[in-house]
Amino acid sequence: MNEQKLTRSDKILLAIFELEKNRKPGEKITKENMVVKVWQLFPADFCLKGYPKYPNADITKYITALYKANLLKGSAYNFFITEKGVTHIRNLNMNRIARTKSAISGSRQIESEIIRIKNSKVFRLFLSNNNEFIESDLFEFLGTNARSLTSANKTIFVSKYNAVVEAIAFCEKIKSTDSDAAKIIALWKILLQKFGHVIEKNTNITARI
């Protein structure tokens, strides 16, 4: 969904939802957890005035609105999203996906590309905080192999590269409400920083974000 269509309360609920997805048994979601998470997802809305590198914890009124709407329960020591809150989040995400897809041609292909990346070994490696990537990881992210780049006919490589670039553009549009999209972008930047020169050496492509 377009970020401008989300209220600050919506954004806080989405942040708690992101924390909920990774909640371990017995783990609590506190106000401190939520304050940092919502600032990471929406820094412009939840930073201290004049200090964009620091989160603003003065958001009680937006949390209160979630309680009044029966979207959130619990306390500042442990938040829980209600069933109504989960339904509200689903509706927000459905609207966001619908709006984004309507603005992008070939959205089915893009969605398939994103799913492929999320299921790749290199993405799982990135999620485990292991950033010791090798050149073959770049090709796995692109869905091809080194031969497609070094062969005389580079049509396959260029096609794969362009498909990933379109997928990254899609991720840029939804990254504020989709943590996986933000992670895909982060991984792509790392791989290009390390191995972009390999692409540029063998093609006319300028491998930059």
Q: Give ∠ CA 119-203-199 in degrees, rounded to 5.
A: 45
* C-beta of residue 56 within 8 angstroms of C-beta of residue 47: yes
The percent of residues above 70 in pLDDT, for the chain, comes to 89
Fold for the domain defined by 3-91: Arc Repressor Mutant, subunit A (1.10.10)
pLDDT over 50 (residue 135) = yes
Can you state the angle between helices 155-174 and 83-103, rounded to 10 degrees? 130
Domain ranges of the chain: 3-91, 104-202
- Read off the pTM: 0.51
Mention every residue, 6+ apart, whose C-beta is less than 8 A from residue 160.
142, 143, 144, 148
pLDDT of residue 67: 94
| Average of per-residue pLDDT across 100-124 | 75
Interval 36-77: pLDDT, tens:
999 988 888 898 888 888 899 899 999 999 999 999 998 889
